[in-house]
Structure 1
Amino acid sequence: MSIWLLIPIKRLERSKSRMASALPPSARQRLAWRLARRTLRVVARVPEAHSLVISADLRALALARGLGLDTYFDVWEDLNRALTAARRYAVRHGAEAIGVLPVDLPGLTAEAVRDLLRAGFSDRGLVLVPDRWGQGTNALLVRPPEAIPFRFGPGSLEAFRAQAEAIGLPVRILPHEVLAYDLDTPADWAAWRARRAAQRAG
């Protein structure tokens, strides 16, 4: 089965706007770059999936190509539209299942990505990875690739599940300590710093 992982990356200067109260613009850009670089280096070590980086950021696209990853240029203002366009590209090139993996998972590992791939259905179905609040969707894997429209945003976990159930598509919820932890808000940033400090102290 050909699994494609869609990895969207905003222009670095526009990234992490929700952290404006916690970090100045230069720090947000540095954080966004570190997260993107880490994510791309991790997925480059997972040949079980074909990774497609979606971005208009030339630095991110150059890094992706240098790591041997496929790229899709998209000046996207809306995440779901960008993912939909990239998915069409992937399907035209043989994708039989589609995963979506954001770049703001600071603890991401190759094994965590493989956990997502292993949870996929062999026939048809949707795997959803909840965020740590159990409301957002931090990753997904769907087969067939165009079974449901993308609905990332507030309350996306329930929106995805409802869409799948409406068409009889099996759903598997995959709680995952690594994939559930994202950096999107000042609260996330404070919690991550506290967690890292505790790990270093331990």
Structure 2
Amino acid sequence: MLSDMIAALGRCRALDRTVVVSADPTLLAEAERLGADTIDEGRPRGLNQAVEMAAGLLERRGVSRLLTIPGDVPLIEPGEVEALLATDPRRHPVVLVPSAAGTGTNALLASPPTIIRPCFEGHSLEAYQRTCRAAGIESLVLPLAGFALDVDTIEDLECLARSGN
């Protein structure tokens, strides 16, 4: 999955770079071999804390917009990533790409990177929307077919196998 994701992201002209965040040195070495930049999170923090740490670090380095895709979304397509990145950050500082079930979030585009705290996992789409409303942040939900599948179960793996990837 990692190599497919990095390859797809590498074909996106609108994307400056791909960064993989992990505490696993083997995974980080593989990501670097595949052409991604890496951030070693040190001790494992869990997805949300790792994303929050990386978003803060990247924002301090001058990144103004951050696309976060969890590592279990293997069917992303460059054209869909380009469409996501074409959204207007002034109009929608937060763009959410839902899971197939419409309850989870399989991508978060945040402008600036720390405008909203990450809350992936579970029924995160509603949680993100609620947080945005409470903070007065305009968000956009953008369903994209290539982002719909996230691999959490055996059934998800079977679906991935049927897709031919």
The alignment's TM-score, normalised by the length of structure 2, stands at 0.88
Q: Secondary structure at the match of 2:95?
A: strand
2:58 paired with 1:90: yes
**Partner of residue 73, structure 2:** 105
Of 34, 39, 46, 2:5 maps to: 39
2:110 paired with 1:164: no
Instruction: Tell me if structure 1 keeps the 8 A contact 2:3–2:34.
Output: no
Q: Any gaps of 5 or more consecutive residues in structure 2?
A: none
User: Which structure has the larger Rg?
Assistant: 1
What displacement does 1:47 show? 4.5
Inter-partner Cα distance in structure 2 for 1:113 and 1:62: 24
Of 157, 160, 164, 1:192 maps to: 160
Q: Secondary structure at the match of 1:178?
A: helix
- More displaced 10-residue stretch of structure 1: 177-186 or 130-139: 177-186
**Partner of residue 37, structure 2:** 70
- More displaced 10-residue stretch of structure 1: 92-101 or 50-59: 50-59
> 1:36–1:79: structure 2 CA closer, same or farther, 3 Å change rule?
same
Instruction: Tell me if structure 2 keeps the 8 A contact 1:129–1:140.
Output: yes
The alignment's TM-score, normalised by the length of structure 1, stands at 0.73
Instruction: Tell me if structure 2 keeps the 8 A contact 1:54–1:82.
Output: yes
Instruction: Tell me if structure 1 keeps the 8 A contact 2:98–2:107.
Output: yes
> 1:153–1:120: structure 2 CA closer, same or farther, 3 Å change rule?
farther
> 1:65–1:189: structure 2 CA closer, same or farther, 3 Å change rule?
closer
